[in-house]
Each structure stands twice: as C-alpha cells, then as structure tokens.
C-alpha cells in the first residue's frame, strides 16, 4: 500500500523563487579553477579533429622518410666524406726549399727555423702525440751586400685565424726565387691527424712524404759580386751618382760571374715582412730600390755603341779601317729650306785626323756622324742599317737571362719617331744622334754586355745566365759578320785603353780592351750616365764586363772606368784566376 504525502505537507514545502536565485551573476561562486576546466561540462572530441591529427602524423612521417632517403641514399657518399673530414685533419708537411749556392759552394739562400719554430719542432720530437702546429722552414740569405735583386725573396705559407693554411706553399717573389720557384719549391707532404668525439687528437699517419726542392749552384762568385756591389755603392755615394749596376760574364758560355744593382733591398726583410719601417723606406726611396738596374733598367748607351756601328760600316762597305776623317770639333749641315741656317753637330773635342781604330779609341763623334748619316763625300750607312746592325748585336731584344722582368729597350727609327712625336719626319740630325747612342736609344746592361761579348768571342751571341748546376741548355747564335771586321773593333777597343778614353784600365797584370760612354740625360743635360764596357784578357778574351753609373753630375769625370779599375786591382789580389 503506497504511502501518500499529505497535501498539507506539500503546501508547506512550496514557496516562491526570487529571480536572482534563478539567474546567477557572472561571479564564479563555486570557486572553480577554470584554467583546469573545472566546472565545465565535458564534450567528446569531434571526428574531424581526430582525422586531422592522424593525417598530420602521416604527413610528418612521409617528409621524414623523404629526408632520410635523401641523406642516406642520394647524398650518402658526399656526406660521408664530409663527416670523415670533420674528424680527420689534414696537416701539411712542408718541403725544404732548395738551397742556392755560388760557384764555390758558398750558401747564398738556405733554410732555417726561427726560435719559435724550433721550439715547436722540439715539442713534436719529445711527445708522443701530434701537435697542432707544424713548423715550416724560414728562408735565410747571405748577409753580404750585392745579392738582393739576384736572389729575390719569398712569400711564406699563410694561415687564417683558425690556424688553417690557405697558402701552403712558398712563393718566389723576385729574382731567382721567382724564376726557379717550381724546382726550388719541391712538393709538400701530408699528415692525417684524427680527432675523437672528445676533441682529443690521436696519433696520425703520414700519407705522403714531402719532396724537397732542387738545390741550385750559380756561376756567380760571391766574393766578386760583393766587391762589385760595394765598389759601385761607394762610387755612387762619393761622387754624386744616384745609382749604378754592373755585370761580368764568360764570353763563351754566357755564365755570369757577377751581376748586381745598387741600391738594393734585403731579401730576408721582405720575406719576413716584420720590419715595416725599413720596408716603408724602400717604398719611399726616390732611387727606386726595387728596380733591378742590371736587368730591368734601360739607359741611353752613349758612345759604347760606337764599336758596333764601326762593324756595321765595314760590313756595308762605306769605309775602310784605314781611311781617315778630319774632326775639327764639329760638322755643320745647311738647312735645305733656309740656306742661311746651319745645324751644327759638335764633337766632344777636336781629334784631328782619325781612322776607325783611333775613332773608337778617342770616341770621335764626328767620325761616327759621317759613317752613320754621311757627310759631303763620305757615305753613311743610314738609319735603317743602324737599326739592322744594332739588332744583330742583340740590342732591342731580350737576352733570355734566367731572371724575371727583363726589358727590351729602344732603337730609334723613323717609325718610332712618327709614333712618339705625333707624325714628325725623320731628319739627318736624328741619324747623327742615334749612331753615337743618343736620341731615343735605350739599352739594358745585359744587352750591352752580350754585344760586347760577341765582339770579344768572334761573333757569337750567348745567353747570359746565372745557373751553373743543374746544367741547362742556354741558346747561342752566330752573327754573320766577318771575323776581320770584329777584329778591327777589338783593336780599337784595346787602343782605347792604351791611348784613349779608357786609359784608367791600363794595368800590368792583365791586358784589357774597353769603351766608355757618357750619355747626357734630362732636358737640361745636367746629368750623365757613365758607362764602361770591355773584355779581358785581350789576346784570349775570357770575360766581358759592363758597368753603368746612373745620374751623376754633368762635369763628373769619375764613373764606370773608376769602378772597374778598383775591381781589377782587387781581383788581382783576391781572385787572380779570373784574370789569366
């Protein structure tokens, strides 16, 4: 039987509700943590969200597989090599650069280690692990003066801030170091240094041993070279010359006994690059310290060209050796357009009647004016033949010396003048000046040396060279001249010593033949270049020589001859074997 609730009781429980009891305000009365989703009704995740997450995972997995395939399959070998390089360090083992010595095995350039490099090398020998530093030998040079331009200098291997070499080789920068850089350098070796995950190095293995460079022996005698340089230097300083250069060469082989230029740089200073102040002084020196005057310098030859022009005149048949020409001190040429105007071409003095031998000996300008350009009844060879024979003697061409930066020089010609002087025509006076080695004539010391040697040896143009060993073939060529014509030139050069302008080279211990040249330079002709060329011994020529003293006072009477006289006296005392 069900129990019913009395209606009276129901009436007591029923009451009215206020609106604020039904519609609660915005306050979180229960104090739920909404950030933790308390007090919220849970709802099921939608199917769209589930499928979205599923497909996202599928896409990521697909991209991952593609990338793995690319790394492991497509580019696997490439990245393997890179990873190996990350733990294997390639360290160069530097080859020893070839030593350079003179003909008597005196070292001129060799290898050494500075204090720091020696310390590192010592550490390497005393420890069982491989050091990160690998020393390279430094280049040392003979301390005696006179070898800077001949030897040159080197650029050392270079490293970046992290210690990695971006230049692993020595690079020759001038002189023999540059010319023979390839055979002097040798080939570096290679050592592998393995580094583990903790950064510790393990003992590596040499995978390639270095091959040292080839040693060079020069024909130069260090004693003669030093003396030639210091004599040129002292003469320049004592008698007002700016600079100078000289060379001595075997007339048969072309082997250079000495070749030097003043002023010069110190090879070790440029190689090390530490003495910034001295290097800066080289750059600022108005004498052009970096110019190798023996090879790169070009000079107006002046009268040293006369023996060559004498041979040309004989070859062209315009004169005989015995015919005499009168030098009264000048010749005058009438202007063809203005009969009252005469052009005067002066000799340096009145020589009287001179034949070819004596004209060479006293250096008569008038004689060579006439056989060069012609005068009255005397026929001249003309500018075309002047150029032709000058080239046959090697002027206006490279000698082929085994050193860098050789220059060619200039032989004036109508075409040259037209180009240089805006179409101006060639005139007789230009021929006169060219045949005595003036006007635009320019030559190098080596060209003058080789030409002089060809007169001495009977007409063979040899190639001047510094290298003696290892033996290399240096070319030579025979000039198509009569031996009798060359003999006349030799006799004139000997007469120049015994009775002419080269009398300063009269010595009792060796017979010398020579020729001087005084070339006026600059527009105002305030300065001169003083030349001397020649050969010795006269009867059986063995060596030719050339000296030029550059830019001295116009009235200076001391120059190239003075230098060679000091040299001969010194050689007689110290190296007499070269005078025999």
Domain boundary assignment for the chain: 85-218, 222-578
Residue 122's pLDDT is what?
40
Cα→Cα distances 286→148, 174, 235, 291, 294, Å: 18, 20, 18, 11, 18
- Please say whether the beta carbons of 468 and 217 come within 8 A: yes
Closest to 247 in 3D by CA, of 568, 511, 544, 462: 544
Q: Find tokens 């609106």 and name the residue.
A: 19
Please give the DSSP secondary-structure letter assigned to residue 523.
Answer: T
Splitting the chain (580 residues) into consecutive groups of 10 residues, what average pLDDT does each group show?
A: 48 54 55 61 72 80 80 69 60 91 97 59 40 70 97 92 83 96 92 67 72 96 98 97 98 98 96 94 96 96 97 98 96 84 92 98 97 96 98 97 96 95 93 95 97 98 97 92 97 98 97 95 84 98 98 91 98 97
- Please say whether the beta carbons of 261 and 292 come within 8 A: yes
The Cα 54–Cα 133 span in angstroms is 57
Long-range contacts from 424-430, C-beta under 8 angstroms, 24+ separation: 426/383, 428/333, 428/373, 429/333, 429/343, 429/345, 430/383
Residue 22, burial from CB neighbour count under 10 angstroms (0-12, 13-18, 19+): exposed
Count of alpha carbons within 13 Å of 215, Cβ hemisphere only? 11
Structure tokens that stand for 188 in this block: 């570096």
Residue 163's pLDDT is what?
74
Please give the DSSP secondary-structure letter assigned to residue 457.
Answer: T
Closest to 292 in 3D by CA, of 113, 469, 147: 147
| E-strand stretches of 201-336 | 201-208, 216-218, 243-250, 256-262, 325-327, 330-334
Residue 448's pLDDT is what?
98
Interior angle at CA 579, CA 577 and CA 580, nearest 5 = 70
The Cα 553–Cα 557 span in angstroms is 9
Neighbours of 541 (CB within 10 A): 21
Query: 243 pairs with which residues across the strands?
Result: 550
Closest to 352 in 3D by CA, of 337, 340, 367: 367
The Cα 183–Cα 206 span in angstroms is 23
| E-strand stretches of 265-420 | 325-327, 330-334, 342-346, 352-354
Structure tokens that stand for 343 in this block: 């052009």
The Cα 411–Cα 396 span in angstroms is 6
- Please say whether the beta carbons of 192 and 89 come within 8 A: yes
Provide the 3-class DSSP secondary structure of residue 510: coil
Q: How far is CA 186 from the centre of its chain?
A: 20
Provide the 3-class DSSP secondary structure of residue 107: strand
Interior angle at CA 197, CA 194 and CA 199, nearest 5 = 65
What is the chain's alpha carbon radius of gyration, rounded to the nearest angstrom? 44
Domain covering 85-218: architecture? Alpha-Beta Complex (3.90)
Pairing between strand 216-218 and 100-101?
parallel
Structure tokens that stand for 383 in this block: 């500018």
Q: Find tokens 């104090």 and name the residue.
A: 31
Residue 332's pLDDT is what?
94
- pTM for the model: 0.82
pLDDT, tens digit (0-9, with 9 covering 90-100), for 71-87:
677 776 776 665 555 56
CATH number of 222-578: 3.40.710.10
Residue 20's pLDDT is what?
54
The Cα 411–Cα 300 span in angstroms is 10
Query: 218 pairs with which residues across the strands?
Result: 467
Residue 121, burial from CB neighbour count under 10 angstroms (0-12, 13-18, 19+): middle
The full DSSP string for 63-101 is: HHHHHHHIIIIISHHHHHHHHHHHHEEEEEEPPPPPPEE
Structure tokens that stand for 368 in this block: 């060579």
Structure tokens that stand for 353 in this block: 């009647």
Structure tokens that stand for 64 in this block: 């991952």
The Cα 216–Cα 152 span in angstroms is 14
The Cα 104–Cα 199 span in angstroms is 52
Q: Does 537 sit behind a cis peptide bond, omega within 30 degrees of 0 on the bond before it?
A: yes
């Amino acid at each position: 039987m069900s129990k019913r609730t009395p209606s009276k009781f129901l009436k007591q429980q029923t009451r009215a509700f206020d609106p604020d009891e039904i519609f609660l305000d915005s306050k979180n009365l229960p104090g739920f943590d909404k950030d933790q989703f308390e007090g919220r009704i849970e709802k099921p995740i939608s199917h769209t969200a589930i499928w979205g997450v599923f497909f996202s995972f599928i896409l990521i997995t697909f991209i991952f597989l593609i990338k793995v395939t690319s790394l492991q399959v497509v580019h696997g070998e490439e990245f393997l090599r890179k990873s190996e390089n990350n733990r294997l360090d390639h360290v160069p083992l530097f080859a020893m650069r070839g030593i350079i010595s003179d003909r008597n095995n005196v070292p001129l350039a060799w290898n050494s280690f500075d204090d720091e490099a020696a310390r590192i090398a010592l550490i390497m020998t005393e420890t069982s692990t491989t050091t990160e530093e690998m020393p390279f030998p430094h280049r040392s040079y003979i301390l005696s003066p006179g070898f800077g331009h001949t030897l040159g200098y080197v650029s050392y291997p270079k490293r970046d801030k992290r210690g990695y070499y971006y230049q692993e080789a020595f690079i020759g920068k001038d002189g023999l170091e540059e010319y023979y850089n390839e055979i002097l350098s040798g080939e570096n070796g290679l050592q592998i240094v393995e580094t583990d995950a903790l950064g510790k190095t393990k003992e590596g293995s040499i995978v390639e041993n270095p091959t040292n460079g080839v040693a060079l022996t020069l024909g130069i005698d260090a004693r003669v070279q030093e003396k030639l340089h210091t004599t040129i230097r002292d003469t320049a300083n004592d008698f007002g010359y700016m600079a100078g250069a000289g060379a001595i060469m075997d007339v048969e082989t072309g082997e250079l006994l000495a070749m030097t230029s003043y002023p010069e740089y110190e090879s070790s200073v440029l190689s090390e690059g530490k003495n910034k102040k001295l290097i800066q002084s080289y750059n600022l020196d108005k004498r052009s310290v970096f110019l190798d005057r023996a090879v790169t310098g070009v000079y107006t030859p002046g009268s040293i060209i006369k023996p060559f022009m004498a041979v040309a005149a004989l070859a062209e048949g315009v004169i005989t050796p015995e015919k005499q020409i009168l030098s009264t001190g000048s010749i005058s040429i009438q202007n063809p357009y203005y009969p009252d105007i005469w052009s005067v071409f002066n000799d340096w003095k009145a020589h009287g009647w001179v034949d070819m031998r004596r004209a060479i000996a006293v250096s008569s300008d008038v004689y060579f004016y006439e056989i060069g350009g012609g005068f009255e009844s005397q026929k001249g060879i003309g500018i075309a033949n002047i150029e032709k024979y000058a080239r046959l003697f090697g002027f206006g061409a490279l000698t082929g010396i085994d050193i860098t930066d050789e220059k060619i020089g200039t032989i004036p010609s109508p075409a040259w003048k037209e180009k240089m002087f805006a179409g101006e025509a060639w005139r007789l006076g230009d021929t006169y000046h060219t045949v005595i080695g003036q006007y635009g004539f320019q030559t190098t010391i080596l060209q003058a040396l080789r030409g002089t040697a060809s007169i001495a040896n009977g007409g063979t143009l040899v190639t001047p060279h510094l290298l003696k060993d290892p033996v290399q073939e240096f070319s030579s060529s025979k000039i198509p001249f009569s031996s009798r014509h060359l003999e006349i030139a030799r006799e004139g050069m000997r007469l120049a010593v015994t009775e002419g302008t080269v009398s300063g080279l009269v010595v009792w211990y060796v017979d010398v033949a020579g020729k001087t040249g005084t070339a006026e330079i600059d527009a105002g002709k305030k300065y001169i270049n003083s030349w001397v060329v020649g050969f010795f011994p006269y009867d059986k020529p063995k060596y030719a020589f050339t000296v030029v003293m550059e830019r001295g006072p116009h009235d200076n009477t001391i120059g190239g001859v003075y230098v060679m006289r000091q040299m001969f006296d010194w050689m007689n005392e110290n190296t007499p074997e070269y005078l025999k």
